[in-house]
Amino acid sequence: MTKVNVFLIGAAKAGTTALSELLAQHEAIAPMAIKEPSHFCKDVHEINFTPSYERMLDWNEGTYFSKSKLSKRHIGFVSSPNNYTLLLKEALSSGSASHVLDASTAYLYSETAAKEVFRYNPAARIIVTLRNPVTRAYSHYNMARKYGKEKRTFFKAIQDESILDRAIWGIDECYLELGDYHQQLQRWTALFSKEQILVLFHDDLLSEPQNTMDRVCEFLDISAKTLTEVSEANTAEVPRSRLVSALLLGSLSSFIATVLPPILKKRVKPLILKKPESMDDASRTFLVHYFASTNQALEKVLKSSLKHWK
């Protein structure tokens, strides 16, 4: 194999991390050292990210690839084709996998990624996980709060975004933009055949992980795999106070992530984070109305009912 051949393209906050961890249990699938190398979303690379996003990203391509051993990372923006090939080679170095997985959620958002991936490997297999865009948006909002990047109420945040021409990755939070699945999927279905695209649902991944794994194995034409370990779904957490939120935007988040040992992390987190409150009715009503038309169009594309989202 000379090219990455499986792309898990999103959606963000729809279970891509959980699914990529499940797939990594299969000996035929090799994950990359960077779960989301984001190599093919050239339009996102060109954006001048906000300082807060830059701090959270903590990414320097030259520094990362200067090391003799590539460390595990959740996300990066790998612009160099040579560096992307290094990730491919590293993924294949420790076994005999027939598939290499690139699980970059920015690809579904990107307006250019589908064309770039198709140019790179027109025979690639594309996997998409979709989540009710209403709950996806609120999950995304709570993540932004957790990292100190959001001070607005949820209703104010989605209202602000609704008047934008298009929310921009790395500048705006994209609570609404990332839930417009119909528009995003069209870029991929226009290039890849229906046999090359597998659409999964977040709810099914949570409730039936083995069945989801079976579907992926069949899609990739690899042997079935009985899961021996299923990670618990990430629990939403938000700062306990505005002071904690401000500190998380600064150095506290990095200190907790990189300095504290795991046992202390478990003790510190309950002191600074709490379970978020439920979504307010006004926001839910706004979002259901906002996504109604795109969900209806998506149903026609998928030839499947999305009544569980309504």
**pLDDT by residue (tens digit) across 178-193?**
999 999 999 999 999 9
Q: How far apart are CA 144 and CA 151, in angstroms?
A: 9
Quick check: is 245 in a domain? no
Measure the CA angle with vertex 224, ends 212 and 71; round to 5°.
Answer: 75
**pLDDT by residue (tens digit) across 197-220?**
999 999 999 999 999 999 999 999
Considering all CA atoms of the chain, what is the largest pairwise distance in Å, rounded to the nearest integer? 52
Q: Give me the number of domains the chain comprises.
A: 1
Quick check: is 269 in a domain? no
| pLDDT of the residue at 249 | 47
Is pTM, for the whole model, over 0.85? yes
With cut-offs at 50, 70 and 90, classify the pLDDT of residue 260.
low
Q: Please state, in angstroms and as integers, the Cα–Cα distance from residue 268 to each residue in 36, 87, 260, following that order.
A: 28, 34, 9
**pLDDT by residue (tens digit) across 78-129?**
999 999 999 999 999 978 899 999 999 999 999 999 999 999 999 999 999 9
Per the structure block, which two tokens stand in for 84? Answer: 């992307």
Judged against a pLDDT cut of 90, whether residue 266 lies above it is answered with no
> By the 8 A CB rule, do 304 and 266 touch?
no
Quick check: is 99 in a domain? yes
Structural domain containing residue 31: 6-237+275-309
- DSSP sequence for 14-39: SSHHHHHHHHTTSTTEEE-SEEE--T
Quick check: is 65 in a domain? yes
Quick check: is 152 in a domain? yes
Quick check: is 263 in a domain? no
Residue 230 amino acid letter: V
The CATH number given to whatever domain includes residue 91 is 3.40.50.300
Quick check: is 264 in a domain? no
Quick check: is 189 in a domain? yes
